Chain A
Amino acid sequence: MKTTTTARWSAIAVIAPLTAAAFAGTTLWAQVNDPRAITSPVAAQATSDGAVMPAQVDTTGAGDPQNRVNQSAEQIRQRAKAVRAKAREIRREARQIAEASTSTPSSSNGDSGSGSSSSSGWVPQGASNTPAPAPKPAPVVVPAPAPAPPADTTTGAS
């Protein structure tokens, strides 16, 4: 049945970019609109504010179903690459936020801080190729041993 076949292909077309996103090491929520990304002819496109825009249709070579599939796979690969790059940027920014929050006293004046970075001390950073330093592990505190019982005598150098 034509409708069932179409529905099956549609389902696959939706699942495919989800799989690509998972393979890219990020979740779908982390995908942001990247002007460099090639739009998949069948995938839904998520924006940074969470709104889902309808898929744009690529009419190039639209007449051949196999060609359409090949183009979809290539576009998915390109999109996955862009998503991975964006994920790295987001992780870098998250580390900076974590470091700023541990070194800066938290604000207690009820300021929600919306639109302002002064209360947390975090300054947004542009994309950078320099990886942020790894956070130092907390020092391990080893308890001192109990003092030795008093000696009746000592054995030592001879």
Chain B
Amino acid sequence: MTEQGLSQQEVSSDMTTTFNAMGSTVTVRILDPGDDAQRAIEAVREKFSTIERTCTRFDANSDLMVANARGRRWAQVAPECLDVLRRAHRAHTETGGIFDPRTLESLQTLGYDRSWERIEESTRVWPTPTRRVRMWHPSFDEARSRVRIGSRPVDLGGIGKGFAVTESMKILRGHGRSILVEAGGDLAVQGPGPNSAGWRVHVENPLGGEQPAAVWEITDVAVATSSIYRRQWQIEGRRAHHLIDPRTGMPAESGLASVTVVHPDAPTAEVWTKVGFLTGCADIRSVFDDVKLPAVWITDDGRVGYSKAATPLLTWKVSRVHA
């Protein structure tokens, strides 16, 4: 354990560091680290802390929640928070509104207004279904680092972690032969893997079985997964989870258990996992084939599907998984 409270292992030319942030365990791994690798890792930890502090919905005093409260009025936010909001707006526009961060009210009504570990303490009811609203049009003032979010509050949980991973990779670049940053399932890799040309990434079986659903062998890309099987809870005997369908304001019921996407940019990968999840079983393959994105998805009953672009990147796969 380092002085900064980082858990660290250094085995020959492999430095692995773990710490907690954004409700997840963050892992940083550097192969053949340079002399300043340790300092770079501390900067990564600080970056995660800053993004979490300014973008969390679990603290009413965070920059995001203050901006939410000000609605159509200008609010001062940290540069990191402004960056995440801009990325979220760009994703909203590019996906035609399918990705929509204005899900905070639904999440709070469902009881996910505090960290996952404390959700059992919350008051939980089903939100009233809503009709599709118009597109989101926030305003940004780059010079003064200000934002006007609008009348409906936003949540950045769907993109913030990926943003933190990408910013961390920028910090770590050049500090080792190969680099991995992984935070709660969202990750990015650079350079050759420890045992092969690429990094071997298991796609977790969302039904709980030990074998993965697929194995990527990849490098110089990011991977993100959206899944409902770990973060779900019961309200009045019905299953609730955190992936809100912005068209209804209710937890999405698409027949999918998880969606994994590979993309050079981690926040973009994360956005497309949400898009895939909301698209549903029937059309998910055509959506990912149209945009030529590598993707793997698992349905509620364990069937595993792949896009065409995924095949060259998969080193192992099965057609079905079990609990």
What residues of chain A have their CB less than 8 Å away from a CB belonging to chain B? 145-158
Q: List 9 A-B contacts (CB under 8 A).
A: A151-B201, A154-B201, A154-B212, A155-B185, A155-B203, A155-B204, A157-B229, A157-B230, A158-B184
Asked whether B318 lies within 8 Å of A149 as measured between CB atoms, the reply is: no
Query: Chain B residues near A152 (CB, 8 Å)?
Result: 180, 193-195, 199-201
Q: Which of A147, A148, A155 contacts B187 (CB 8 A)?
A: A155
A152 to B187 alpha-carbon distance, docked (Å): 12
A146 to B211 alpha-carbon distance, docked (Å): 10
Q: Least Cβ distance of B244 to chain A in Å?
A: 15
Q: Least Cβ distance of A143 to chain B in Å?
A: 12
B227 on the interface (CB 8 Å rule)?
yes
Interface residues of B in 223-266 (CB under 8 A from A): 223-231, 258, 260
Query: Chain B residues near A150 (CB, 8 Å)?
Result: 195, 200
Asked whether A158 lies within 8 Å of B206 as measured between CB atoms, the reply is: no
Query: Chain B residues near A153 (CB, 8 Å)?
Result: 27, 29, 180, 182, 187, 189, 199-202
Asked whether B195 lies within 8 Å of A156 as measured between CB atoms, the reply is: no
B215 on the interface (CB 8 Å rule)?
yes
Query: Chain A residues near B228 (CB, 8 Å)?
Result: 157
Query: Chain B residues near A146 (CB, 8 Å)?
Result: 316
B315 on the interface (CB 8 Å rule)?
yes
Query: Chain A residues near B123 (CB, 8 Å)?
Result: none
A147 to B316 alpha-carbon distance, docked (Å): 9
Report which residue of A151, A156, A158 has the largest number of chain B beta carbons within 10 angstroms of its beta carbon: A158
Asked whether B315 lies within 8 Å of A156 as measured between CB atoms, the reply is: no
Asked whether B200 lies within 8 Å of A151 as measured between CB atoms, the reply is: yes
Q: Which of A145, A151, A157 contacts B202 (CB 8 A)?
A: A151
Given contacts A149-B315, A154-B185, A158-B227, 10 further A-B contacts (CB under 8 A): A145-B211, A145-B318, A148-B211, A150-B195, A150-B200, A153-B27, A155-B182, A155-B204, A156-B227, A157-B229
